[in-house]
Structure 1
Amino acid sequence: MNFIKPLTLLTFLFSLTIFAQTPDSDEDKLSLNSGTLDNQFDYVIKKSNGWRDERGQEYRVIKAYWLTDLKSHVLDSLQTVRKDLVATEITLKAQAKEIDDLKTSLSNTQNDLDKTKGEKDSMMLFGVQMTKGGYSGLMWSIIAALLALLIFFIYKFKNSNIVTKDAKHALSELENEFEEHRKTAVEREQKVRRQLQDEINKQKVVKTKK
């Protein structure tokens, strides 16, 4: 730390010495054939001879070729500015066209994106474009209708099965009744035949006794 402080002080003193030895050369930098137009006008003003009249009005004598050179430089600068303006205008038009092209491209891209999103969110059913929500609702409606029909047919089948069982039971009972009736009829017929045969036999016995 003790070594750095003297070194810093010496550097500062050296800088001040150099600055003191450097002359104010702003006027030396002025030129009629180089630098900015502002510097060239300053050159003409500072290099021109000045005098005052009896009324104290200040005048300056400027060399004619200075004005000629200065005029030429101004015209060149104006020509350069015009060229820059034309180039800038061309660039702006090109950029405007590029912006319009980008807007058109962006619009087309947005339309394609919307179309792709619409196609992604939609389904084709029997040649008809439907949204996924509509497609899902239709599918669930069809499934619900088929499920309802299935439940209805199961209900009808169970009822038919019950009716069939009842019909079979009734038919079985009817067959049993018919069999009982047939047996009864056979027994009656046999009884009647025996009675008839007994009567015939009795008549024969009576005739024999006579």
Structure 2
Amino acid sequence: MKKFLLVFICTVFCVITINAQEEQTTTNDNTVKGQFETLIRKSTNYRQGGKRYEVVRLLELEAFQRNILDTIRVANTNIGELQATISENETALNSLNTRLDDTSKKLIELTAEKDSMSFFGAMVSKGTYKLIVWCIIFGLLIFLVLFIYKFKNSNTLTQQAKLALSDVEGEFEDHRRRALEREQKISRKLQDEINKNKKST
């Protein structure tokens, strides 16, 4: 009898452990499909009159119903947000269509005025416009040539000044060297005189 009781307790413990593991694995999937599959898996069945019936616990069915209603509520909220976005996009599209119509009208007006051009707010003919543009280009070219000439002239003067400076620096270096040599000669003579005076006394 004790062996039978021990085997029974072990069997019950194994069944409880397996059920607990199945519940942990099945509760991880929180999608509607996963919850529905869990509900089917946990249901029991029986046959009566040659037909198969599934028996589901009422608490699990109510929890599934709450989850479905929550999912529907979230979906309805998303649908409302999407509809608001769609209406905003439709408003923006209507605004863009209006702007496109205005742009098309302006394009037609510009095409009609293609024989004349706006120059500083005044409408002038194409020939006059080309003449003004070419005058500006020639004026800029003349200015560029004058700038290059002045630059080269200044560069030449700078080079001459550098050469003159290097000549002056060379002369100054020669003068400094000669003055140093003279100073050394005078120092030697002075030292010689001092030495002579010391010997004579």
- TM-score tier by shorter-chain length is 0.3 to 0.5
Task: Give the structure-1-normalised TM-score.
Answer: 0.42
Task: Give the structure-2-normalised TM-score.
Answer: 0.43
Q: Which has the larger radius of gyration?
A: 1
